[in-house]
Amino acid sequence: MTTSGDHAVPALSIGHLQAWYGRAQVLFDVSLDCMPSEIVGVLGRNGAGKTSALMSAMGVGIRASGEVRLGGVDISRMPAHSRAHAGLAWVPDTRRIFANLSVRENLMLGATAGRQPVGPAIDRVVQLFPLLGSLLRKHGYALSGGEQQVVAIARALVSKPRVLLLDEPTEGLAPIVVEQLRAAIAELPGEFGVSVVMVEQNLEVALGLAGRVYVLDRGRTVHTAASDEFADSPELQNRYLAVGQ
């Protein structure tokens, strides 16, 4: 018998997820836990199902069955906006900044899912990403790729999520911007009390930020490892990430 408190409830728990686009099944048995204030990485080749897994957790754009629990509460039957209200936030790989709105307006839209007053939340994200301060009046269309990614993450944070789903945050960004973003993401659990599930193709970034990684292959979770173990194993990297295997 265990006493309560021995086993923390995961911030996000995905279990036995299956998912379909139309009739085509793309996820078969995906399971993943993210503990409070943990950063976990999701790795896998192109087409492995990483984006589909995040979309299934969020409840957008894909038909899914299986378990999705947020802080122990089953959210798998909720529509996406209710999941957002419950504390799940998603930053898609497309970033989706509103081009004709200012950065401040983009951030204010992020707050509509939350319950807090908007002003202080925006101040906090500006503290974390100093770059944002100088961008607040700029319009979405005037932002670089790196700036868009920062705004997309900041917008998600303004809603005060418990769990943040990040889909390839560093994709297509210059190395110096990747470095800034990596530093900022590392601060998220401590600064915002948020847990992070991060799909990331940049192995160095993924393994540097995440304590544990899940590997997807052809729609299945095929491996879970401590990041150090994965980093030290060319064999694992080859088996699950090399192209043409």
Ligand X SMILES: Nc1ncnc2c1ncn2[C@@H]1O[C@H](COP(=O)(O)OP(=O)(O)O)[C@@H](O)[C@H]1O
**End-to-end distance of the chain based on CA atoms, in angstroms?**
45
Closest separation between CB of residue 199 and Mg ion, Å? 6
Question: For 68, what's the count of Cα atoms within 13 Å in the CB-facing half-sphere?
Answer: 23
Q: Measured from the CB atom, is 21 or 141 closer to ligand X?
A: 21
Should residue 213 be labelled a site residue for ligand X when binding is judged by CB under 6 A? no
Should residue 195 be labelled a site residue for Mg ion when binding is judged by CB under 5 A? no
Should residue 51 be labelled a site residue for ligand X when binding is judged by CB under 6 A? yes
Contact (CB, 8 A) for 153 and 186: no
Longest dimension (CA), the chain: 59
Closest separation between CB of residue 19 and ligand X, Å? 9
Q: Measured from the CB atom, is 51 or 180 closer to Mg ion?
A: 51
Should residue 245 be labelled a site residue for ligand X when binding is judged by CB under 6 A? no
DSSP-H helix ranges across 162-233 = 175-192, 203-209, 227-231
Q: Measured from the CB atom, is 53 or 111 closer to ligand X?
A: 53
Cβ atoms within 10 Å, residue 88: 28
Strands (E), the chain: 12-21, 24-34, 39-43, 63-70, 73-74, 88-91, 163-167, 195-199, 212-217, 220-226
- Per CB under 6 A, which region of 48-56, 103-111, 143-151, 156-164 contacts ligand X? 48-56
Residues 14-43 that bind ligand X (CB under 6 A): 21, 24, 26
Using CB under 6 A, pick the residue from 46, 77, 190, 243 that binds ligand X.
46
Query: x/- contact string, 124-163, with Mg ion (CB under 5 A)?
Result: ----------------------------------------
Structure tokens given for 229: 């173990």
Contact (CB, 8 A) for 17 and 23: no
Amino acid at site 133? G
Should residue 56 be labelled a site residue for Mg ion when binding is judged by CB under 5 A? no
Separation between Cα atoms, residue 59 and residue 6, nearest integer Å = 31
Which of ligand X, Mg ion, none sits in contact with 52, Cβ below 5 to 8 A by type?
A: ligand X
Should residue 51 be labelled a site residue for Mg ion when binding is judged by CB under 5 A? yes
Closest separation between CB of residue 152 and Mg ion, Å? 15
Binding site for ligand X (CB under 6 A): 21, 24, 26, 44, 46-52
Binding site for Mg ion (CB under 5 A): 50-51
